[in-house]
A = this chain, B = another copy of it.
Amino acid sequence: MGNRVTEFNEFRARMNERILGEDHRVIKRFFGIDTLTYEPGALDAKTKEMLGLVASMVLRCDDCISYHIIQCKEAGVSDMELFDIFSIALVVGGSIVIPHLRRGVAFLDDWNVQHHP
């Protein structure tokens, strides 16, 4: 049903608002840069999102993986391309990445169900 996707987005949005509401100069600027990073530059937005995904995966952060899977899908990355990204993360990062791969694929499947019901 894709509840995982909805829950993830809601908690993320609520806490980002809470954190930015604190009005901490460094944290606010960091969030600003974080957004700027994925805007088209020498590389297009799709490539940048793929780079963000593989980086999140080898660093083994489930929420970051979920976030970048959403961004990749919205930027037009196909499931076959996603599995190529997963394979690079797996080989670079090792079998320790596998549990995150399982949860990432489960999240992707939820996203696909939610968007192509």
Where the two chains meet, the residues of A that have a C-beta atom closer than 8 Å to any C-beta of B are 11-12, 15-16, 18-19, 22, 24-27, 29-30, 32-34, 36-38, 41-43, 47-48, 50-52, 54-64, 78, 80-81, 83-99, 101-103, 105-106, 109
Contacts and interface: CB of A to CB of B under 8 A. Distances in A.
Contact of A56 (B15, B61, B92): B92
A7 to B, nearest CB: 13
Contacts of A59: 58-59, 92-93, 96
Contacts of A11: 102
A60 B58 contact: no
Contact of A27 (B34, B43, B55, B90): B90
A71 B58 CA distance: 19
Query: How many chain copies?
Result: 6
A51 B48 CA distance: 10
A98 B80 CA distance: 27
Given A63-B102, A64-B96, 13 more contacts: A12-B102, A15-B105, A25-B41, A30-B87, A33-B91, A37-B88, A41-B87, A56-B96, A58-B59, A58-B96, A59-B59, A59-B96, A93-B93
